[in-house]
Each structure stands twice: as C-alpha cells, then as structure tokens.
Structure 1
Amino acid sequence: MPYVTVTALSHPGLIRDHNEDSLVAGPWTLCATVTENPQTLVFPRGHPLVVAVADGIGGQPGGEVASALTVRQLAAVGPALDGAQAVQDALKLCNQAVYAAADRDPELLTMGTTVAGAVVLAESLLVFNVGDSRVLGVTEDGLRQVSIDDSPPLQPGRRTTSLVTQALGGAPGFSPITPHVSTAPLTPGDRYLICTDGLTDPVPQDELDEVLRAHDDGRAAFELWRAAIEAGGPDNITLALVGVGD
C-alpha cells in the first residue's frame, strides 16, 4: 500500500526561554512544546495529508498561541484540502482566526505566525507558505527550495533576515494575505524538509543537504537538530521530514 512517512521534531533551541513553534501532521499536532526524540508517523497515501510548521513571531505577544491556533485549524480542515484553492482558502481562514483571537484578548494584540507546509495527495503535492518558514525538496542535485520567502531583500553580505513581509496576523488591524501555493508531481522516493527558520538561518543549505544525503527519517531529523544546536541554537527549531513510499 502506498504510504507517507512524517518524522517530526520541535525544540526551543539554546537561547529562547520557550518554544513558539507548532507543527501539524494529519490529525496530529505538536504545539509550543519540546520533543525529546524525533517522532515518526506513517500514513496511507491517497487522501489529503497536511504537514506544516508554524513559527510564532518573536518580539510580539502570543506567538505560541498564533502558531498553535494555525496548526490546529489546518488539522481540522486537512482532509478537505484537495486542491490549490482549498489550501488558499484554509490559510485565509487561519489568518482570520489569528486576528479574531487577538481581538478577543488585548494582551494578544499583534500576535502572528508564519506557516509553511505541504498537502500530500495521491499523485501530487501542494506546497504552501506565508512568511519565511520553508519547504525544501531533497533531490539528487541537492536541496531545492520550493516555498517562497516573504522577506525583504537581503542587505549586502547578509545570508538571512528576521524580517517578514507577510504573516498570519501580526498587525494591530486586520491585514489580508496572499498565500504562496504551488503544485508538484509526486513519485515514490520523494523527500521534503519542512522547517522553521530556527534551522535554516543558522545552518547553511549545503550543510542541510549533506545531512540529508547521509541519513533518513529519525536519524536525519536528529542530525539536522544537532547542526542547528552546534551553530548556537539561536531560535526555536521545528522540522518535519516527509517521505513518499510505495
């Protein structure tokens, strides 16, 4: 039977005092917490399976609330995400939900989150993001970014930036979003890395590629986490490795 594996890990890193990242894999969510070891789940392929990470915006209140709300909303609607328009609509509902929650609690005003992920269908993959969390395809030629960062142009000599040009929530008043959604073919053996910038900011892409060439599943997730920690662990680290089996 065709199947999909999802190996997930979430950790606060070495600098932050708590985790504002969340993750969804099918009906399973991991919200603003810590995994001691990578967790691997196996799902049958054929029905829509959503896998995504959400990174609460640091320096603003309630990042963990916004990220948890987003992944729980995606878990609830995941089985209905059968096309690009459905994903667009779901992300816009998430944006509305984050603003609505902030409106109900003045202490959560301006809370926001990024989100990035994929919906695995029977024969194709729907890749989506809002913000700078990423989806990377693992190919024979190296890692290939398939999401689109919502970030301003980098300053000369800089490899990363903490600024985002759009997010779910994050402003005092409602701001609409234009999610990035694309479709890719799906074949057995395909692998994707979905992660927050707590992994991609401190660890260069060629180093991520080296880890993924050497390891699969739980060992790969652990080694990716270790690379971020050895680079200083400056931010929360959340990742999901998606593998397509036959």
Structure 2
Amino acid sequence: MQLEVWIATKPSLTHTENEDRAVVGDEVFADVAGVEHRHLPVPGLLVAVDGLGGHASGHVASHVAAKLFAAADVPTDEAGAAQLLELADRTLHDAMQTDPELQGMGATVALTSVLDGTLITANAGDTSAWRYTDGHLEPLTVSDRIAGSQIGQCLGATHELVPHVQTAELHPGERLLLASDGLTDVVGLETLEQVLGGPIDHAVIDLLDRVEQARFPDDVTIVVAEVQPTA
C-alpha cells in the first residue's frame, strides 16, 4: 500500500499567523500556497494540529507538536499512538514550565498511523479524521467539544490527557480526510461526502473554495489521502 496525499493549511482572514499545522510523513506544513501533493509509503503518518485560538501562543503549541510527530516513529498499535499524543502533551507542558510567556498554550490533534491494511487513529480535541468508504464518511475520532467552542481536553492546556484511540481496517481505494474545525465548522457532512466521492485530486481545492465562500472564519487544515496498492 501507499498513500497519495493532498495538503492545505491556511490562516483565517483575521489571523496574521496560521495556528494550524499538517504533518505528512516527516514533513511539517505551516502555511501552504495552494495545495501540496505528496506520495507517502506505508507505514506512514498523517496528522492535523490546531493551535487553540485565543490561547497564549497557539501557533507555538501546534508547531512544537507537529515537529515532534514528524520526527517520531510510526506507531504500530493503539498504545503507541496514545503514547505519542501523551509525549506531545508532556512536551508542551515542559515548554510552558521553561517559558512563562507560553503559559496556557494548547492544541487539538487528529493523528492517523497508516499500516498495511490497518489504520490506527488517535485524537484529542475537535480536530477530526474520517474514512470515506462505500459512499459514506465514517468518523475515526471522538470530539471533545463540550458546547459552543469549549474543548474538554487538548494537548498542553488540559491537566490530564486521555487520548481517544481506535483501530480500523483499511483497503485500497478508500480515502481519508483529516481536518481542523476551520473546515468542519463551515462545511457539513453531506457536502464532505459529496466532495470525497468526486475526483480525489480536486477534493482539497473544492473544500478550500467552500471555506473561502464562508470567508475563512478560522484557520483551516485539510489533508486528503487515497489508499493505493503498491505498484
């Protein structure tokens, strides 16, 4: 198996700095002009990270976490995926202890470890991951959004992190979507399914167009991948 991946991450119209990050393999994407395209061998890692807007140094939190994920080994089981999120959480806490100006920083995250025939997903917060199969988007993450924009847990800003982790089968032809709430707050499930069911090489561009129509109310990260058999 291998993944064909398209990546976009952009700031909102009101932010001068993007607080989102995307990770594909060992690359961190901080502010993409247009859409990036990568081929990722399996095992491989896909991550979307959203620094919490309104919190101290959200862009620092997302960048520190993203760099850690990009440098990490690909988790091969649920325990490893949970431990990777816990390590990112401790790293943010350590950074806050070192620099008082970073106090209160945090980030939400959705991480997918793609193995041969298996997908392990771990998340904290309301950044989400989905699998598109048989014409439907299946959620792979559990939202920690409590009400409105309140988040029950995240990396860094939460006292004790309890990652949500699950394992699913994965087959050639299936598609994956990872997204910050800058996408999912403005584009509904039916539209997401429609776009993911269309030409895969235009999916991210189409979704970005829809966020632009909503005037980019929040930073947005979109990672779309198609699972392909190894040639």
TM-score by length of 1: 0.89
Question: 5+ residue gaps in structure 2?
Answer: none
Pairing 1:42-81 to 2, within 5 Å after superposition: 42-45=39-42, 48-79=43-74, 81=75
Partner of 2:162: 178
Partners of 1:16 and 1:234 within 8 A in 2: no
Secondary structure of the corresponding residue to residue 73 of structure 2: helix
Which of residues 85, 89, 93 in structure 1 aligns to 2:87? 93
Which of residues 82, 97, 103 in structure 2 aligns to 1:103? 97
Identical aligned pairs, as a percentage?
31
Deviations 1:154-177 (A, max 9, x none): 5xxxxxx31110000125xxx121
**Residue type of the partner of 2:156?**
G
Partner of 1:149: 143
Partners of 1:102 and 1:109 within 8 A in 2: yes
How far residue 14 of structure 1 moved from its aligned partner, in angstroms, is 2.2
* Structure 2 CA distance for aligned equivalents of residues 141 and 163 of structure 1: 31
How far residue 37 of structure 1 moved from its aligned partner, in angstroms, is 1.6
TM-score by length of 2: 0.95
Question: 5+ residue gaps in structure 1?
Answer: 155-160
How far residue 183 of structure 1 moved from its aligned partner, in angstroms, is 0.3
Secondary structure of the corresponding residue to residue 72 of structure 2: helix
Pairing 1:142-221 to 2, within 5 Å after superposition: 142-152=136-146, 154=147, 161-170=148-157, 175-217=159-201, 219-221=202-204
Secondary structure of the corresponding residue to residue 214 of structure 1: coil
**Residue type of the partner of 1:167?**
C
**Residue type of the partner of 2:3?**
V
Secondary structure of the corresponding residue to residue 160 of structure 2: coil
Aligned length: 229
How far residue 144 of structure 1 moved from its aligned partner, in angstroms, is 2.0
**Residue type of the partner of 1:42?**
H
User: Residues 215 and 13 (structure 1 numbering): CA distance in 2 closer, same or farther, change over 3 Å?
Assistant: farther
Q: What is the alpha-carbon root mean square deviation over aligned residues?
A: 1.3
Partners of 1:5 and 1:42 within 8 A in 2: yes
**Residue type of the partner of 2:131?**
G
Secondary structure of the corresponding residue to residue 224 of structure 2: strand
How far residue 18 of structure 1 moved from its aligned partner, in angstroms, is 2.0
Partner of 1:244: 227
* Structure 2 CA distance for aligned equivalents of residues 186 and 148 of structure 1: 19
Matched, 1:118 2:112: yes
Partners of 1:119 and 1:125 within 8 A in 2: yes
**Residue type of the partner of 1:62?**
S
How far residue 49 of structure 1 moved from its aligned partner, in angstroms, is 1.0
Partner of 1:157: none
Partners of 2:48 and 2:179 within 8 A in 1: yes
**Residue type of the partner of 1:44?**
P
* Structure 2 CA distance for aligned equivalents of residues 139 and 14 of structure 1: 33
How far residue 128 of structure 1 moved from its aligned partner, in angstroms, is 1.2
* Structure 1 CA distance for aligned equivalents of residues 65 and 209 of structure 2: 27
How far residue 141 of structure 1 moved from its aligned partner, in angstroms, is 3.6
